Amino acid sequence: MKPTNKFQKQVFVLSKQLSPISKIQKEWAKQNCIEHIGRRTKKGVITCMDCSHAWQGNSELSDTVLGTKCPQCSIQLQVMTTQKRVFQQSEYFCIVTTKGNFQVLRFFLIRCYAKAGQKAHYFISEVVQRWIAPNGKYETVARLKQMSYYADIWTFSSKLEIRPERNHHNIVPTGIYPRQRLIPELKRSGYKGECYEISPFDLFRTLLTDSRAETLLKAGQSELLRHFAGRNFNNISDYWASIKICIRNNYKIENAHDWCDYIDLLHFFGKDLRNAKYVCPQNLTVEHDRYVKKKRKWQELERREKARKKVLESQTKFHEMKSRFFGIQFTDGLIQIRMLESVEEIMQEGDIMRHCVFASEYHLRPDSLILSACVNGEKVETIEFSLSKMQVVQCRGIHNKNTKYHKQIINLVNKNKGLIQKRIAA
């Protein structure tokens, strides 16, 4: 797209003035960004997939062997016993340089096509440039990328032009060319060439826009820097007071994710987040797990309390709806049937009989009356009686199965439904 403002126009003009990648830089990328394979046959013949030189190896036939050099080109090989003849690789590398007052990150795609018996063919093309001003403002110059799940499907016929921000522009390269040119603002930040598995763009922008990133870098808190770098760096505000205590006490955080979780747990339980006793634990894993168990216990108590309140609220509603039927009970001498008169009783009924009478809230249905049938003091079936139809809707034993008393229970309810009718008429 064409540059539309002064900043974009300045970047576009300077981008055209960048020097092409040098032969030395290309050779460095070939040596350091691509895995060099020695193909070994079952007979032990090793072929260097870079220069195609073949020689008889030793008799060891393990899957891979590291530390083998090609006798002809002296390149370090990873020897693999395989019948595969063609190997293809694609990686990214980065050249860190400056132009004008901009910090420039130049990303190149390197592809290697290697076939047994032929010299490897390499292809290198610049695909993305990130231009960062000293105040953190940035612009992207890139080629077009095809819509694909694959990360390296670029349209190489397209030009390097100003492009809108896309996720695929934020590249984490396999390697960064060791000779780096930095703007003064980055030199002062403490950056020494290590990116700590952070994308160079996220690291540089964070260092240029937030002094706390510089503090972390100079204090050796690389794990915290890696955890927060990029778009999530604003979240560090929640932990900054505790981080300063760690720095003051020379406490290095090795697992930033667990430490932040631990601080969140301390905050939840109202602990002093400026006290080294809490924020600098000798064994983070033990303390983290202890507070996790403590919170789970609290959550379980909270769940039970909410369930208890729900039962109490349900009990009030249940009492208003069904209190006129309280006290209904009858028997034929063997089977005793009575109405369940509280939500707690209905909840126990569901637990004992292992069905959904409580979970499905049958007791809160205006038309339903819940009764329980017992034989010799043991529950056998639960009955749902319809007040509008004046009949048994369902009658179920454990796991919703009918018992040998099923028909006898229904007949007994039908004989005594007049007791229910009297309560309705009252």
Q: Is there a domain that residue 103 lies in?
A: yes
Q: For residue 250, is pLDDT > 50?
A: yes
If you average pLDDT over residues 323-334, what whole number do you get? Answer: 94
Under 8 Å between Cβ of 203 and 178: no
The confidence band for 151, taking pLDDT boundaries of 50, 70 and 90, is low
pTM: 0.71
Report the share of the chain in percent with pLDDT over 90: 73
The confidence band for 63, taking pLDDT boundaries of 50, 70 and 90, is very low
If you average pLDDT over residues 47-64, what whole number do you get? Answer: 75
Q: Give the containing element (helix H, strand E) for 321.
A: helix 284-322
User: Which tens digits make up the pLDDT trace of 163-209?
Assistant: 999 988 999 999 999 999 999 999 999 999 999 989 999 999 999 99
Q: Is there a domain that residue 317 lies in?
A: no
Under 8 Å between Cβ of 143 and 158: yes
| Structural domain ending residue among the three candidates 176, 206, 238 | 176
Q: What is the CATH number for 357?
A: 3.40.630.30
422 to 252, 336, 415: CA distances (angstroms): 78, 20, 14
Predicted local confidence at residue 282, as pLDDT: 94
Q: Is there a domain that residue 203 lies in?
A: no
Under 8 Å between Cβ of 191 and 180: no
If you average pLDDT over residues 255-274, what whole number do you get? Answer: 95
Q: Name the amino acid, one letter, at 121.
A: H
Q: Is there a domain that residue 288 lies in?
A: no
The confidence band for 150, taking pLDDT boundaries of 50, 70 and 90, is low
Q: Is there a domain that residue 11 lies in?
A: yes
| Structural domain ending residue among the three candidates 123, 148, 176 | 176
User: Which tens digits make up the pLDDT trace of 20-55?
Assistant: 999 999 999 999 999 999 999 888 889 999 998 999
Predicted local confidence at residue 60, as pLDDT: 54
Question: What's the domain count of the chain?
Answer: 2
Q: Is there a domain that residue 190 lies in?
A: no
Question: Among positive and negative, which fits the CA dihedral 271, 272, 274, 276?
Answer: negative
| Structural domain ending residue among the three candidates 158, 176, 194 | 176
Q: Is there a domain that residue 231 lies in?
A: no
Predicted local confidence at residue 117, as pLDDT: 86
Nearest to 257 by CA among 277, 232, 276, 274: 232
Residue numbers of the domain that contains 60: 6-176
Which residues, 6 or more positions from 422, have their beta carbon under 8 angstroms from its beta carbon?
Answer: none
The confidence band for 3, taking pLDDT boundaries of 50, 70 and 90, is confident
Q: Is there a domain that residue 156 lies in?
A: yes
